[in-house]
Amino acid sequence: MKKTVGFIGCGNMAQAMLGGMINSNTLDNENVIVSNPTNNKLHLVKKQYDVKVTNDNNEVAKESDILILAVKPNKYDTVLKEIKNHIKENVIIVTIAAGIDINSVENIFDNDIKVIRTMPNTPALVREGMTAMCSNKNVKDKEMKEIITLFKSFGKVEIIDEKLMDYIPGISGSSPAYVYMFIEALADGAVLHGIPREKAYKMAAQAVLGSAKMILETNEHPGKLKDNVCSPSGSTIEAVYTLEKNNFRGTIIAAMESCTTKAIKMNKKN
């Protein structure tokens, strides 16, 4: 891709995306410009990816054909008003924050701005991200394909109706945190019985990775794959019984509901 891609903000999510785009050779480092108010993170991405960096958001806005807003949700309004008179005529603005809908971005600008709303996750750093995506009517099919190609450089992409976007953090945007907690708990259970922690983390993480890959590659229902592991009167079904008795699935769904409620509140606030 020869277009200039700009990042306003270079926190963990932006760095994960940038790493995926450059490490996959989808994007040349010379076609990237990144801004951030403080220098520590800028020095880090400059050293690691040799991209152009600046403290000036307007400099990024002036140069970018694709402008990725990687700032906290409560900063969006301020940043958009700051750059509105400095963007290119046909720029595509890409949002990655929970609770920022397309209409809230459109309302800042006087012209027919092109907006793509996305919700990626941090496994983008190892090119195993999951991104949900939607756009407004001003984005052409060719332009949408370009953004999909960028995001596929660090994982998978699903096109979602915008009315469903507030539900995405619960299932993929925030869910890596739940998975890390699950892996940590599995490892703690192993350490309890003497397995060294480093080995416990490796075995637990690989079990989760392999299980996820089984679903993606076999297209089997998760329940069937679970059944295949559970021998009659065996240790696995005993563990499943304990999880069910302690409301394992209900607790996960309740956590997702909490995440969704917060995302919707953030959207209304913004």
Q: Is the confidence at residue 111, as pLDDT, over 80?
A: no
Are both 102 and 185 inside the same structural domain?
no
Of 162, 195, 222, which residue sits at a domain end? 162
Are both 22 and 81 inside the same structural domain?
yes
Are both 76 and 24 inside the same structural domain?
yes
Are both 139 and 77 inside the same structural domain?
yes
Are both 39 and 127 inside the same structural domain?
yes
Average of pLDDT values for 162-182? 94
Give the mean pLDDT of the chain: 94
Decide: 57 and 8 in contact? Cβ < 8 Å. yes
pLDDT at residue number 23:
87
As given in the structure block, the two tokens for residue 80 are 């958009």
pLDDT at residue number 39:
93
Are both 199 and 133 inside the same structural domain?
no
Are both 90 and 120 inside the same structural domain?
yes
With CA atoms as reference, report the closest residue to 61 among 133, 8, 13, 128. 8
Tell whether 167 is covered by a domain. no
7 vs 9: CA distance, rounded Å: 6
pLDDT at residue number 20:
87
Tell whether 79 is covered by a domain. yes
Average of pLDDT values for 71-75? 89
What CATH number does residue 216 fall under? 1.10.3730.10
Tell whether 168 is covered by a domain. no
| pTM of the shown model | 0.88
Are both 121 and 185 inside the same structural domain?
no
Q: Is the confidence at residue 269, as pLDDT, over 70?
A: no
Decide: 7 and 41 in contact? Cβ < 8 Å. no
What CATH number does residue 108 fall under? 3.40.50.720
What domain count does the chain have?
2
What sign for the dihedral angle of Cα 200, 201, 204, 209?
A: negative
Condensed to tens digits (0 to 9), the pLDDT of residues 190-210 reads 999 999 999 999 999 999 999
CB atoms < 10 A from the CB of 246, how many?
9
27 vs 92: CA distance, rounded Å: 16
Are both 67 and 197 inside the same structural domain?
no
Instruction: For residue 62, give its domain range.
Output: 5-162
pLDDT at residue number 109:
87
